């Protein structure tokens, strides 16, 4: 196939001239695509934003070389990556599981549809891994954020001024156990435990909604653990393909955890995005909540 | 101890005169206490309502012999049970996990406090089993709804006009698996699965809130499975002491499942309360949703 030959030629060129190394960033919503692009730029590489229409934020992606693509235009993503000399791409930012009917298919995608329909059954992880395999078959290697922007991944240890108490550490351990138990079901990157009691398990609602729920239930007297007790734990699903959909926290998470009346946040060290670390830690200190990265040994 | 001797005497009297057999119903909120009292009356026994102030509905409990008690008045519950010649009691109706500070303690409870404080750590199941052991030590046997009112427990099989599809049955099976995995954590009497995708896991919020969330997320485009796909499954926590806090559905559950756009409801046969079965089944038929009791073999 002619395009693949062209692609391999550009790949070799990129390999031999690292200064011109270009990486495609397939951008969903939020500010993280910009943080990743900045990290790539700091390494002397060139980010190319392939911005998903309806999800990517124009204010974020338009600061860089960018092209707009529709969900489902796998062929267009592959040809743009080739034209921009990218042999690697990563996914970053929010794209909620789309309904099949809202996806705009190009011809390459239509040819792949029998496979794609299969990805839509089952959990998000299967969907994303399936989509990645389509790109890899087209010659575009899908990499993880960790490989090009390790500085936006939360490290191990206490990150702010406040320390978790032994009570908090027990709640953290229990939350990690709940996540491990849910591993086979592709559900739950967030769990809230207070005084050994599981208050909330995230599924389709997202962490902001989950924390708002705790605040609301507390207001209604349905959550009765005292304020300042309980933890939010964020971690990838066990066995999850960590090239996609890493859990993430930001300043808003801190605000919401404080409103929910919890003591702090624990994240899986090495696999949770904390994009504005300085801002997040300052916010945690102001709210008097602890923030800790927990290594795999400790869970 | 003098009171215990009196109590044992009354117990013997009850055993020998079954027609006068009295059963204490420790009543939380909702209509279920009335349904249980009616079932007990139909058996020729005498219900005595011990209504928890702030939770029990006066319109429900005042139709029967009744006394009001405050949460934490274990001594008063025991002495009322003795005075009313009850040697058995059951718990029924809603009482949300109370904050320790809102509990009114009587002297007997204060003597037991070191044990009670322990019950408040950990899940609801441990709390309830602990409270039951206090009563049993005081000579009041705690029984389950099944023993005196089996007719308000959902049976096995399809209960309405609509049948679950093979797709629905697969979702039901997956939801039961999620519950089994969460067994050790005393969380989740309800799970929603649609097209193999776990949409919601119940923790502190209760089933009505959980279903409202699905409806809301669907409105926001965050739940994208088509309307008429997906199931609510209600079942006791694995290993739960089934004398307490059985899962329950009622006409409102049907309304909420329909609003959430799900296909139907599956309950654990033999351990889920369906108090107004005729009304619930009629509501399910009107809403075109299926309702099925699933036996242990099938899960």
The reply to whether residue B197 touches residue A123, judged by beta carbons under 8 angstroms, is yes
Paired tokens of A175: 């939350």
What are the E-state strand segments in chain B?
22-27, 46-52, 66-69, 86-92, 141-142, 157-158, 190-194, 197-201, 231-234, 248-249, 264-268, 273-274, 290-294
| Mean per-residue pLDDT over chain B, rounded | 86
Q: Which chain A residues touch B187 with a CB distance below 8 Å?
A: 178, 198, 201
Give φ, ψ of A273 to 5 degrees.
-80, 125
Residue A259 to residue A198: CA distance in whole angstroms: 18
Examine the pLDDT at B28 and tell me if it is beyond 50.
Answer: yes
Q: B239 in helix, strand or coil? A: coil
- Spatial CA neighbour of A91 closest among A49, A43, A152: A49
Examine the pLDDT at B269 and tell me if it is beyond 70.
Answer: yes
pLDDT bracket for residue A11 (50, 70, 90): very low
Average pLDDT estimate for A103-118: 70
| Sign of the four-CA dihedral B144, B150, B153, B158 | positive
Q: What's the confidence (pLDDT) of residue B297?
A: 64
- Spatial CA neighbour of B231 closest among B162, B171, B291: B171
Q: Which chain B residues touch A199 with a CB distance below 8 Å?
A: 203-204
Average pLDDT estimate for A275-294: 95
pLDDT bracket for residue A108 (50, 70, 90): confident
pTM over 0.95: no
Residue B223 to residue B281: CA distance in whole angstroms: 27
Q: What's the confidence (pLDDT) of residue A103?
A: 66
- Spatial CA neighbour of B64 closest among B90, B27, B13, B29: B27
Residue A48 to residue A64: CA distance in whole angstroms: 7
- Spatial CA neighbour of B270 closest among B253, B293, B299, B244: B293
Examine the pLDDT at A28 and tell me if it is beyond 60.
Answer: yes
Examine the pLDDT at B123 and tell me if it is beyond 70.
Answer: no
State the CB neighbour count (10 A cutoff) for residue B278: 8
Q: A267 in helix, strand or coil? A: strand
Q: What's the confidence (pLDDT) of residue B15?
A: 46
- Taking CA atoms, B152 is separated from B38, B237, B256, in Å, by 10, 19, 21
Examine the pLDDT at B218 and tell me if it is beyond 50.
Answer: yes
Placement of tokens 């911005």 in the chain = A51
| Best residue in A188, A193, A198, A261 for a mutation probing chain B (most B CBs within 10 Å) | A198
Examine the pLDDT at B194 and tell me if it is beyond 50.
Answer: yes
Q: What's the confidence (pLDDT) of residue B183?
A: 85
Examine the pLDDT at B206 and tell me if it is beyond 50.
Answer: yes
Provide, rounded to the nearest whole percent, the portion of chain A with pLDDT above 90: 62
- Spatial CA neighbour of B265 closest among B291, B229, B235: B291
Q: What's the confidence (pLDDT) of residue B120?
A: 61
By the CB < 8 Å criterion, does B134 face chain A?
Answer: no
Using CB atoms, pick whichever of B181, B197, B204 lies closest to residue A199. B204
Does B123 or A64 have the greater pLDDT score? Answer: A64
Residue B19 to residue B4: CA distance in whole angstroms: 23
Placement of tokens 């209960």 in the chain = B159
Q: What's the confidence (pLDDT) of residue A298?
A: 57
**Maximum pairwise Cα distance, chain B:** 66
Over residues A29-46, the pLDDT tens digits come to: 888 899 999 999 999 999
Examine the pLDDT at B17 and tell me if it is beyond 80.
Answer: no
Residue A195 to residue A199: CA distance in whole angstroms: 10
Q: What's the confidence (pLDDT) of residue B31?
A: 87
DSSP state at residue A263: S
ipTM above 0.85, yes or no: no
Q: What's the confidence (pLDDT) of residue A4?
A: 45
| Best residue in A122, A168, A205, A239 for a mutation probing chain B (most B CBs within 10 Å) | A205
What are the E-state strand segments in A53-99?
65-69, 86-92
Average pLDDT estimate for A98-119: 68
pLDDT bracket for residue A134 (50, 70, 90): confident
pLDDT bracket for residue B203 (50, 70, 90): very high
Using CB atoms, pick whichever of A177, A185, A226 lies closest to residue B198. A185
Q: Which chain A residues touch B261 with a CB distance below 8 Å?
A: none
Average pLDDT estimate for A166-188: 92
Examine the pLDDT at A138 and tell me if it is beyond 80.
Answer: yes
Does A225 or B122 have the greater pLDDT score? Answer: A225
Does A127 or A183 have the greater pLDDT score? Answer: A183
Cβ-based burial of A192 (10 A; exposed 0-12, middle 13-18, buried ≥19): buried
Residue B156 to residue B268: CA distance in whole angstroms: 8
Q: What's the confidence (pLDDT) of residue B161?
A: 97
Over residues A57-87, the pLDDT tens digits come to: 999 999 999 999 988 788 899 999 999 999 9
Over residues B227-240, the pLDDT tens digits come to: 999 999 999 988 88
């Amino acid at each position: 196939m002619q395009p693949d030959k062209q692609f391999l030629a550009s790949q070799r060129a990129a390999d031999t001239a690292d200064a011109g190394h270009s990486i495609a960033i397939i951008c969903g919503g939020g500010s993280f695509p910009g943080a990743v692009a900045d990290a790539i730029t700091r390494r002397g590489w060139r980010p190319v934003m392939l911005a998903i229409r309806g999800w990517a934020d124009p204010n974020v992606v338009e600061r860089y070389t960018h092209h707009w693509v529709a969900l489902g235009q796998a062929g267009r993503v592959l040809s743009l990556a080739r034209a921009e000399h990218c042999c690697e791409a990563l996914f970053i930012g929010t794209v909620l599981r789309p309904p099949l009917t809202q996806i705009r298919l190009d011809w390459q995608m239509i040819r792949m549809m029998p496979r794609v329909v299969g990805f839509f059954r089952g959990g998000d992880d299967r969907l994303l891994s399936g989509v990645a395999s389509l790109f890899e078959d087209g010659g575009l290697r899908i990499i993880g954020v960790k490989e090009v922007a390790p500085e936006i991944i939360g490290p191990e240890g206490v990150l702010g001024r406040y320390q978790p108490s032994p009570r908090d550490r027990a709640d953290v351990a229990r939350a990690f156990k709940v996540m491990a138990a849910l591993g086979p079901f592709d559900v739950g990157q967030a769990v809230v435990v207070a005084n050994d009691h599981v208050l909330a398990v995230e599924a389709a609602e997202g962490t902001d909604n989950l924390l708002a729920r705790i605040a609301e239930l507390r207001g209604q007297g349905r959550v009765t653990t005292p304020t300042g007790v309980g933890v939010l734990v964020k971690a990838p699903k066990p066995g999850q393909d960590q090239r996609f959909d890493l859990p993430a926290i930001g300043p808003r998470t801190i605000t919401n955890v404080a409103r929910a009346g919890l003591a702090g946040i624990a994240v899986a060290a090495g696999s949770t995005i904390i994009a504005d670390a300085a801002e997040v830690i300052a916010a945690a200190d102001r709210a008097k909540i602890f923030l800790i990265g927990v290594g795999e040994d400790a869970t």
